A and B are shown apart, each in its own frame.
Chain A
Amino acid sequence: MRNFTTISQIITSETDQAFWSLVIFLLVVLLAYFMMRLKVWRVIMTGQLRSHRAQIEDILKQLYHVEAGGKSVGIIDLSGALRISDKKMLNLIEEMVNMDLIQTRDEKIVLTEMGRDYALRIIRVHRLWEKYLSEKTGISKLEWHDRAEQKEHQLTREQTESLYEELGRPRFDPHGDPIPTAQGQVIEVKSVPLTGLRKGAVARIKHIEDEPEVVYKQIIAKKLHIGSQLKVIESDDRHVKFYSEGEEYTLPSIVACNISVLELSEEEIFEDSKVRLSSLDEGEKARILGISSECRGAARRRLMDLGFIKGTEIETEFNGPNKNPKAYKLRNTLIALRNDQADLILIEKEAI
């Protein structure tokens, strides 16, 4: 045979050669893996090294939220909340005062008229972008906030307005927060934290706060949706227990206070029998009451096109090997849906 033996001159036996090749391969793979990890770190680091403009905008936003909550802050609170060093913060504040965006008043920082407008514009972009992500992309809920945090510093005024038109001039973002208008007006939302409801109260979920992320993740994992009706069974300092869409939930108070609700009056309460399609067992029949407002954009349209319309008779025909997806029969056709989608379809089970 020919002489293809550069490596095998050093390592004599073929088995040895094979062994060492494997070892080297594993080392290379490990190295590559750690390099990847390092790059991930770099991305996180650069995420923290916000641009100068982004920092100013973040300060404005923070101030706006603080003022909206009826409080006020000093420099130290601000630098702590935004993870900017005190020294840097001092420079920034000075610059912003010069730009007439903020004023300092007895150790406290307040927004000027112009600063408020600016802040509202950033919030407008943020919420519009979240709306865009929810309607037009399949990106996970958990990523909306972070992506919008980036985007809010990037969109120009024209881009924002054409986005606003494209989305059909929405009034609320997907978390239920009002989107400020281009003129800087904000719709007042009357809602209270879930923890503020007494036992027996019936309310509708208006807003789910997406910060801090750990708490938001917990709420999302529970599959609670904006627009859902709930009824409080028990409420004390530590826990809130309630019913919603046929399921029973118990949430610690610190989690529950991130959910804002609007209490419903007697005549607004209806359809207590609402449950989710995913709870319909094989062979059971039901009538569709509607699709949750949590299901939006293309996904919602697709479901409606397939005939998931208010009033339609539906039946779970068979469960499939994993009970996910399941096959449902409606309008004489079998449609398979995954459970997370079936969770968003509300039904009323037929009395047997």
Chain B
Amino acid sequence: MSILLIAEHDNQTLNPGTLNALTAAQQIGGDITVLVAGSGCAAVADDAAKAAGVSNVLLADNPVYDKALAENLAALVVEQAAGFSHILAPAGTTGKDLMPRVAALLDVGQISEITAVESADTFKRPIYAGNAIATVQSLDEVKVITVRASAFDAAATEGSSAIVNAITTACDAGTSAFVSEEMAKSDRPDLASARVIISGGRGMGTGENFALLDSVADKLGAAIGASRAAVDAGFVSNDLQVGQTGKIVAPELYIAVGISGAIQHLAGMKESKVIVAINKDEEAPIFQIADYGLVADLFQALPELAEKL
């Protein structure tokens, strides 16, 4: 078996999700080649070459791959696909955008967001917002897979010294172009890899009130998350949404504040190790999955919590 893992990165550093996907690749077994496609991304390839279990790195460093446009990247992956039994990527928005396009070009299906490797062709994945777990066997010769990062430990960043081979072809479909981006800036840890997350819901009332979460997050070194209702209301930006259709997280500690606990929200956080809920409604469904529930008004509880930590 031979696995091609598509690295997710920002041209400077390897996104941690790639290391989680690398663990899934190791569990499948076989040679692992990492493809780093981007622009000015040689440092990423060097990082990938050191990561545990990596035997080869392919570096496609070209302006046409700069902003991970799926049209160009998919053509590149398909060009490099020969000989690989599995093509993997972390299930971030880049992988979700790219991989089905790759699969269709190869005339194979895709197994999305696997959470466990049963064998080289059989995987587990959550369906129905995580209310059921499917075991799925791929019947295709090439298995195209996205990996739910929170379900796999990160592979070690050191341990290999793979050779980096440069790819010189430039695949440019010419049908799409990058225009602009609005990147959320934050000094806080990334939601996907944070040890502690404190999330706010509609109960926060306004965006300004998220400052109450900030003061607790400062004490705990936590990342801030949100429910869909809080994002829809414009309290915070879309990249903070946790849930079935947002980010899937599994930190050591998840604190849900003013969040009712709809199944779509639970789908994104119920694998957290310890869950705390703060809600003024003692009937809120979030209490059914919380390890520690505090029935309280968040406007009193949060300042007190920040003070006592």
A binds B: no
Show the binding face of B for A, using Cβ within 8 Å.
none
